[in-house]
Chain A
């Protein structure tokens, strides 16, 4: 039972991190990045390259992978978003989907189709906490996510750049009139989002294997988590992520593991029926 809760919260933390990445970009630009899940996969391959091929120590390899994600976020922004920022929404949906397909096949071409393994900082020795037995990696995931959320909160509420990001998210036009360099803030948003996906990738990779498709379902489920929480709301995305992780793990354990991946979609449909604006959502109306 405790074990299920911990692994549910751990998976939920991953969804929350990826969902936050979705949100930051969506709030700043109105675009949804359908390659967010694939970014997570890219980070895992970066780390494998740094540790296995360049034989860096693990901590350095992780750091190198995150640096790689900064560059990746910059390039991604230039390729998939910038040329389409004034075009209809559907064009960025297609362009980010295309980048996702590209990444999955590029990765297979470079690292092969066989799944690889990324070592974590802890072995597989389970941790005894009172009566509960938990996997150390799961505890690590939850701890890192908590710290990251706190740091993100401080960054968005205290730092100049974070405040600029929030201003752009609220109203890009007005922000521009106030002298905020909107374009550069958008670039920073993409980098931050890429970093969040990267951290999620490095955290989740030691739990499973690293393969080209590892990010696809995580990305879709994280998006669902954001919608469950009420799209646009940061606390909503975190709550939605954790909730989805928990429900999924319990459904997998008590109902059917074959249908585990369908649970997220069923929740999505139920939420859309019952509370279309999500748990923490603001009422919305179409702009005329």
Chain B
């Protein structure tokens, strides 16, 4: 399938408003650390930023390529352990151990993706749960290497030469920079030939195959890329928190990542980020629920898939498209746009 046919329809959307909002948002983001209620808030913002990078990765395989994954925590874990072990045992600098974390996670994705991506739907979900569980068991049962159930302590903060990113404020700017890069990369990917291949496979593997796309290769690429994102995010997490243990990386974390993606809006970049931030802050906002928080969380997830399966951004985008193009001229243009919005939001 040539890229041309999937070109978004050009019209006269009110682009200027979107740019204005984006610019305003950026200024707000830069000033935010000076005006947060507490250090803990800033800490949560940082955690949310790291999660957002992981969720952007998950979005590649789940959102664009349409393959469910419940094992994303495994890549987050492998990236974290790789980078932390390199730093602790061999004294490798963060500038090297961080990409190494992404690389090892990506390799794991490449190896595991081969057999598992032949599966579909629930079977793929099962296999990816298996990946997560086996990873966790491996981390627990190799105490010589991974510190076993106790995990790893005293992981050094990220540092580039003499510049150490130790405070919450410094971490904030560092993490948001990484997040911005990750978001930019996925945006480019979304509009590239590769991204469109992913979406074609999501819509129909048979049709994609007929159009000259190898579905197996497209899925494997999406899975490996998503693993790299997960690994990089995990590496930052390990160095930012300073302490990791197998408990952090259970299937519930994978479910959490998936929930973030669905809440924000599957197959959208802003949705993946928004979801990560909202779900990270949710326990704070719902503190009054105490021990019953997870029950309400589960009910919320259930209501979400029933009433808002395309997420906040998916729903907002549909409204926006309707409004921005409300002065349309021809029936054909309207149809083309409806088709495009269907394609970009499953």
Which residues of chain A have a CB within 8 Å of any CB of chain B?
26, 31-32, 34, 79-80, 83-84, 87-91, 93-95, 97-99, 101-102, 105-106, 108-109, 220, 223-224, 227, 231, 258-259, 261-262, 264-266, 268-269, 272-273, 276, 286, 288
Contacts and interface: CB of A to CB of B under 8 A. Distances in A.
A264 B131 CA distance: 12
A101 B252 CA distance: 9
A248 to B, nearest CB: 14
A105 B294 contact: yes
Contacts of B206: 286, 288
B137 A101 contact: no
B133 A262 contact: yes
25 contacts: A31-B122, A87-B309, A88-B309, A90-B121, A91-B305, A93-B121, A95-B305, A97-B255, A98-B298, A98-B299, A98-B305, A99-B302, A102-B295, A102-B302, A105-B298, A109-B291, A224-B126, A224-B130, A227-B123, A258-B140, A261-B133, A265-B134, A268-B126, A272-B118, A276-B118
Nearest to B262: A94
A261 B137 contact: yes
B121 A262 contact: no
Given A220-B129, A272-B127, A98 B205 contact: no
B147 to A, nearest CB: 15
Interface residues of B, number: 41
A105 B301 CA distance: 14
A32 B122 contact: yes
Interface string B135-147: 0011011000000
Interface string B294-320: 110111011001100100000000000
A105 B292 contact: yes
A74 B63 CA distance: 32
Interface of B is mostly: helix
A262 B129 CA distance: 12
Given A102-B298, A109-B291, A272-B115, A89 B137 contact: no
Given A101-B294, A288-B206, A89 B122 contact: yes
Given A87-B309, A88-B309, 14 more contacts: A34-B125, A80-B302, A93-B125, A94-B258, A94-B259, A98-B298, A102-B295, A108-B291, A220-B129, A220-B133, A224-B126, A227-B126, A259-B137, A264-B130
B298 A265 contact: no
B346 interface: yes
B68 interface: yes
B217 to A, nearest CB: 17
A95 B134 contact: no
Interface string B257-298: 011001000000000000000000000000000011011011
B99 to A, nearest CB: 28
Contacts of B119: 272
B344 interface: no
A123 to B, nearest CB: 34
B345 interface: no
Contacts of B255: 97, 101
A79 B302 CA distance: 9
Nearest to A224: B126
B116 interface: yes
Given A32-B125, A258-B141, A94 B301 contact: yes
A93 B121 CA distance: 8
A102 B303 CA distance: 13
Nearest to B291: A109
Nearest to A108: B291
Contacts of B129: 220
Contacts of B123: 227, 231
B309 A272 contact: no
Given A84-B305, A269-B115, A90 B298 contact: no
Given A88-B346, A102-B298, A93 B137 contact: no
A95 B130 contact: no
B141 A259 contact: yes
A90 B122 CA distance: 8
A190 B42 CA distance: 46
Given A90-B68, A261-B133, A95 B306 contact: yes
Contacts of B116: 272
B144 to A, nearest CB: 13
Interface string B235-268: 0000000000000000010010011001000000
Contacts of B122: 26, 31-32, 34, 89, 93
A223 B305 CA distance: 23
A288 B210 CA distance: 12
A245 to B, nearest CB: 18
Contacts of B125: 32, 34, 93
A23 to B, nearest CB: 12
Nearest to B254: A97
Contacts of A266: 134
